[in-house]
Amino acid sequence: MGEGVMCAGAKDLRDRLHTPFNYRDRGRNQQRCNCGSREVCPERAPVRAELVISRCATRMIASDALWGNMLGGAPDAAEDKAPFSFQIELPTSILKHIYAISNRLLTSRLSSADLRLPRPQIRTKATAPSRLPDARNEPNPTYVKGSSERLKIESALSKLRSQLPVQSSIYYNGKVQAAWRSWDQPLPAEHAAIESALKAKKDWENTPFIDRAAIFLKAAELVTGKYRYELIAATMLGQGKNIWQAEIDAAAELADFFRLNCNFAAELLERQPTRGTVGMWSRMEYRPLEGFVYAVSPFNLTALGGSLLSGPALMGNVVLWKPSPPNVYTSTLIYKILLEAGLPADVVQFVPGARKKSPTSRYKREELPPHPPHGRHSQRRQPHHPRCIRVPGTKVLGDLARIHPSVPRGRIHLAPQGRVQEITIGSPDKELEAFMGPVIHRRSFDQIKRIIDESNDDPSLNSITGGTYDDSVGFYVHPTVYQANAPTHRLFDEIFGPIPALYVYLDNEWSEILAKVDQAGGGFALTGPVFATDRRVIWEAEDALGYSAGNFYINCKTTAALIGQQLFGGARASGTNDKAGSSDILRRFPSLRMIKEFFLLEGFKYPSNQ
């Protein structure tokens, strides 16, 4: 808000109008008043923003840009141009009224009644009154050997390695609870965290959206700047990812969620009824959900924790966040970043722990609307109809000649066939050139080991490559590829490990195999690609696999969707298909209230009753 130069006439007009003024002038001290004076008018006044009109005693001249931009046309050229540039944030009806006033002021004075304009009202909980910064996807450094970013990540890895073992604590109200250190115990912090979050609910709900958005926009800058390499190093060591996978997860995607969720929320808040009747006004209020939101983030993706809490919090909800134990250290960093960005300490309660160890009493609380029902009795106890958002695989079919570059990048990176022998395995921080790291923890390693041992003895499988593992230093599993003699083998179910299975079908079996693929996969329907050059084959696959994957890829790997570009989510056993990376998923977090207001109603009879 700048301080502009105003003559007495302009100041008088400002005082007479009921709508607050706001302008930004160009070269404040170099402008001259429309009265013709070449000197700066002596009167200065700070003016608030929404509209600017310069007026001398009997003339009003409005900026061409004002009318051209807001009304789709420009008034007749005037000899004198308004000395200020303007930004308008008023309804079109008001602007048209002011335009009419400006034309009439060229020849006559108006009464004060003519200048009374309706005051626009802004409900901070339901609207996004200011334009947010343009959304953008975070660019990714290449991390080539010798680059500055490569040196920074090596330094961050070395520093974190020297600090091991690190301890992550439970927080509530932003304070460490030293007595609750382990997820191997029940978490008494959870009840206290819920109560604290509910106490903060009213203040956070009434916080203007632009202030909530500003916190997450600042957090995005901290993620991509001050804490970028610390987050990447923590993801590499904690989750066994290589540099590139950690970069796109812990830095780029996390920042994208923070930035773009702000824009998606603003987009949602601007949705209002577009039709109306004379004498009546309908408007939509986007209220936070009653109670609190319970967010459980997975072990394998750092960014999803930021996504799961930022969406509900932006819409005014308080959140109980429970990250998975294998991802607790990077989640702790995210929580500290949010506090540094200005998030009130009691809005997001940080209570990491194993899901099985969580007290079942949480599900009995009436303040938990977003949890799925557990049978009729549980549902009857809830005063609100429960809401659930769930995103927990992947099917691949087509031409192997086109598959080979994509499959290793896709499934193996998230720790099958095609140049598998060239894939290198190593420690994420000691062997930066390695394509693959270890699986995430002992439980995952033991599960994959059991599957490999059983598969090696399975006569219905043919081992193509791999089949070995080693836990002497870390939880390393070599990429293992099997060829199955049936498309319904259990290896085609979702497995979080580098064990893809192949099935070779005959050309005349294409339609039949599509039907089997639709039924396979353990009921999951998140992602699935088809690799082909014949467009008719692609069309048939698109049609037959219409419900097999929420994200369907053509000649493309199946992992990683860019926020705001590829909306991500699946149905069936993969979740509720609320698309992350869009305003669609944010629609789950407000409770809408429709407000209908009549301005004048005379009597109760209809005209036909006369």
Q: Return the half-sphere exposure (C-beta side, CA atoms, 13 A cut-off) of residue 278.
A: 0
CB atoms within 10 A of CB 585: 24
CATH superfamily of 148-389+582-594: Aldehyde Dehydrogenase; Chain A, domain 1 (3.40.605.10)
Q: Give the residue from 561, 546, 541, 529 showing the smallest Cα distance to 407.
A: 529
Report the length, in residues, of the chain. Answer: 610
Q: Which two tokens stand for residue 77?
A: 């050229």
- H or E stretch covering 205: helix 189-205
- What is the reported pLDDT for 419? 62
pLDDT at residue number 275: 83
Which residue's structure tokens are 């070779």? 504
Question: How much is the pLDDT for 212?
Answer: 96
Q: Note the pLDDT of residue 224.
A: 95
pLDDT of residue 494: 73
Region for residue 541 given its phi and psi (left: phi exceeds 0; alpha: psi -120 to 50; beta: otherwise): alpha
Residues 278, 113: Cα–Cα separation, whole Å: 23
Instruction: Say how far apart CA 370 and CA 373 lie, in whole Å.
Output: 9
Instruction: Sheet containing 551-554: give its strands across.
Output: 397-398, 527-531, 551-554
Return the HEC string of 180-198: CCCCCCCCCHHHHHHHHHH
Q: Can you tell me the distance from the alpha carbon of 438 to that of 473, in angstroms, rounded to the nearest whole number?
A: 10
Q: Which ranges of the chain have pLDDT less than 50?
A: 1-5, 13, 16-88, 106-124, 126, 180-189, 357-364, 370-385, 391-418
Q: Which of 148, 306, 344, 157 is nearest to 232 (CA)?
A: 157
Contact by Cβ (8 Å): 531, 399: yes
Structure tokens at 596: 């209908």
Which residues neighbour 469 within 8 Å (Cβ) at sequence distance 6 or greater?
Answer: 445, 448, 449, 452, 476, 477, 478
| Beta strand pairing call for 501-502 and 481-484 | parallel
Instruction: Give the residue extent of every domain in the chain.
Output: 3-115, 148-389+582-594, 397-572
Buried-state track 218-232, b at ≥16 Cβ within 10 A, e below 16: bbbebbbeebbbbbb
User: What distance in Å separates the CA atoms of residue 488 and residue 482, rounded to the nearest whole number?
Assistant: 14
Please tell me the predicted confidence (pLDDT) of residue 79. Answer: 40
CA dist 410 → 29, 493, 577 (Å): 60, 16, 21
The pLDDT score that the predictor gives to residue 521 is 65
pLDDT of residue 87: 46
pLDDT at 388: 56
Measured CA angle at 207 (ends 206, 209), to 5 deg: 115
Radius of gyration of the chain (CA): 30
Q: For residue 433, what are the CA distances in angstroms to 157, 241, 242, 561?
A: 14, 12, 8, 24
The CA distance from 593 to 418, in Å, is: 54
Task: State the Cα torsion 294-296-302-308 to the nearest 10°.
Answer: -30
Contact 295, 263 (CB under 8 A): no
Maximum Cα–Cα distance for the chain, whole Å? 98
* Tokens of residue 345, six digits: 């300490």
Dist. CA 394–CA 518, nearest whole Å:
11
Q: Please name the fold of domain 397-572.
A: Aldehyde Dehydrogenase; Chain A, domain 2 (3.40.309)
Q: How far apart are CA 122 and CA 114, in angstroms?
A: 24
Query: How far is it, in rounded angstroms, from Cα 429 to Cα 434?
Result: 9
Position 449 scores a pLDDT of: 93
Whole-model pTM over 0.75: no
Which pLDDT score, from 0 to 100, does residue 338 have? 97
Identify the residue whose tokens are 């996504």: 307
pLDDT at 101: 61
- Identify whether the C-beta of residue 568 lies closer than 8 Å to the C-beta of residue 246: no
Which pLDDT score, from 0 to 100, does residue 375 have? 30
Contact 429, 515 (CB under 8 A): no
